[in-house]
Structure 1
C-alpha cells in the first residue's frame, strides 16, 4: 500500500469519525433541549392508552426508578428520531464525493423520501394503529379485572411498534435502490409477489408484539408500500454507468 493510498484511507477514517461525532452531538443537543419536557412527552405518547382506560384506572410503576427513567428513555429516543435528518445528511456528505453527478441526482429524492416515509410510519402507528390495538386490548379482558398498565412495559411496547412501522415504511425506498443497483427488477418482484406476501406477514410477526391484530395492521401497509415501490422503481431502473471524462 503506497503512502498516498494510506493517507487517503486515514483521511476517510478521520472524516467518518468527525461525522459520527457530529451525529452524536446532534442527538445530545436535542436531548438536552427536550429533557425538561420529558414528562409531557411521555404523557403525549401515553395518551392513546389513557383514552381507553376506565375512569378509575391509572398507569402504574412497578419499579421505584421507573417514574424517572421511563420518560428519560423516551426523550432519548425522541431526540434520536428528531436527529435522523441531520444524521442522514452526515451520511450523505460522506458518500456523496464518491458518486457521479447523475447518481447524486437520483439518490437525493430517495434520501428525502426515506426521511418522510420514516416519520410517516411513526405517525401512522401513533394516530391509527395504537388507538385500534389499545382499544381492542382494553376491551377484551374479564370484567372483574382492573387494568393498570406499567409505564415501562408500555414504553417498550410503543417503541417497538414505532421502530417497526418506521422501518416498514421504507419498503418503497428499498425497492427503488435494489432496482437502481441492478440487484433485481420490477418484473422479477412481480413474479415473486406470492412469496413476498407470505414473507411480509412473517416479518410483521417478528417486528410486532405477539398478536394477530398488530401483525395485520403492519403487514397490510407493507403490502401497499410494496406495490407503491414497484410503481416508483420504474424510474430507477439500472442503467450502464456513464463515467465523466476529465
Structure 2
C-alpha cells in the first residue's frame, strides 16, 4: 500500500512538472505571436526591409513557424529543468552536481551563442551570398529575397548551433575514456558519423548535409588539436617540475 501511495505521489509530481512545461511553452508562444513582427525584424539583415511573398498563406505560416520554433525551444529547456528537479532527490551528490553544472554551462553557452555568435554568422552569410547574387551579370537577373526561404535558411543555421553543445558534451565524455591515438586512428569513422548526424537532422539534400557535417568535422579537429596541445603542456610541466629534496632534521634523528 505504501508503494502504491509513493508511486501515485511521484506520478502527481511528474504531472505537475510537465504541466508547468506545457503552460510555459504556450505562454511563450502567445508572447512571441503577439510581437511576431518585431521578432522577425530582429532577424532581418541590417538595412533591408524588402522581401517577396508568393503565396496567400505564406506570411501566416511563416509567423506560425517562427513562433513555434521559439516556443518549443523555450519549452524544451523548461522541461529539462523540471526533469532535473524531479530526479534530483534520487541522485547521488556528485551526479546532481555534474548535471547542475551541465545545465548552467548550457544556459551560458546558448546565451552567448544567440546574443553574439548567431547574429554575426547570419550577417556574414547574408552579405556573402547576397553580394554573389547581385553581382551575377551573365544575364539580367534581379535578386528578390523570399521571406520564408530566408527564415528556413536561419532555421538550418539554428540546427547547427543547437546541436553544437550536445556534441561538445559527448566528445568530452568520450575523451575522458579514450586517448588521443584512438581519436587519430578512427578519424575516418568520426567523419562518417558527422555526415550521418547531418543526414538525420537535415532535409535529404547534399547542401544541407554539408552545411551541418563540415562544422561537426571542424569541431572534431579543433577538439583534437586542443587535446594534443594540452597533453604536450602536461608533459612539459612534469619535465620542468623541480625535484623535492628531503632534509634530514633533528626530529628524524630522534626517531632513528
TM-score if structure 2 supplies the norm length?
A: 0.68
Q: CA deviation at 1:29?
A: 1.8
Q: CA deviation at 1:39?
A: 0.5
- Unaligned runs of at least 5 residues, structure 1: 52-56, 232-246
Rounded to whole Å, the distance in 2 between the matches of 1:152 and 1:92 is 36
- Mean Cα displacement is larger for which, 191-200 or 58-67? 191-200
- Unaligned runs of at least 5 residues, structure 2: 229-256
C-alpha contact (below 8 Å) 1:171/1:225 kept by paired residues: no
Rounded to whole Å, the distance in 2 between the matches of 1:4 and 1:229 is 53
Larger Rg over CA atoms: 2
What CA RMSD, in Å, does the superposition of the two structures yield over aligned residues?
Answer: 3.5
Q: CA deviation at 1:25?
A: 0.9
Show the counterpart of 1:236. Answer: none
Show the counterpart of 2:56. Answer: 64
Show the counterpart of 2:107. Answer: 115
1:171 and 1:215, CA in 2 relative to 1: closer, same or farther beyond 3 A?
A: closer
| 3-state SS, counterpart of residue 163 of structure 2 | helix
1:124-157 CA-partner distances (Å, limit 9, x unpaired): 6623432333333323343322222322222223
Rounded to whole Å, the distance in 1 between the matches of 2:116 and 2:67 is 20
Rounded to whole Å, the distance in 2 between the matches of 1:92 and 1:37 is 31
C-alpha contact (below 8 Å) 1:204/1:216 kept by paired residues: yes
Q: CA deviation at 1:93?
A: 0.8
1:101 and 1:219, CA in 2 relative to 1: closer, same or farther beyond 3 A?
A: closer
Show the counterpart of 1:28. Answer: 26
Give the number of equivalent residue pairs.
220
Rounded to whole Å, the distance in 2 between the matches of 1:225 and 1:205 is 22
Rounded to whole Å, the distance in 2 between the matches of 1:186 and 1:229 is 15
1:162-189 CA-partner distances (Å, limit 9, x unpaired): 123111232222344567xxxx713286
1:79 and 1:120, CA in 2 relative to 1: closer, same or farther beyond 3 A?
A: same
| Residue 165, structure 1, aligned to residue 161, structure 2 | yes
1:59-117 CA-partner distances (Å, limit 9, x unpaired): 11122122233123313322333455433321111111210112112221112122333
TM-score if structure 1 supplies the norm length?
A: 0.70
Q: Which structure is higher in RCO with an 8 Å CA cutoff and minimum separation 6?
A: 1
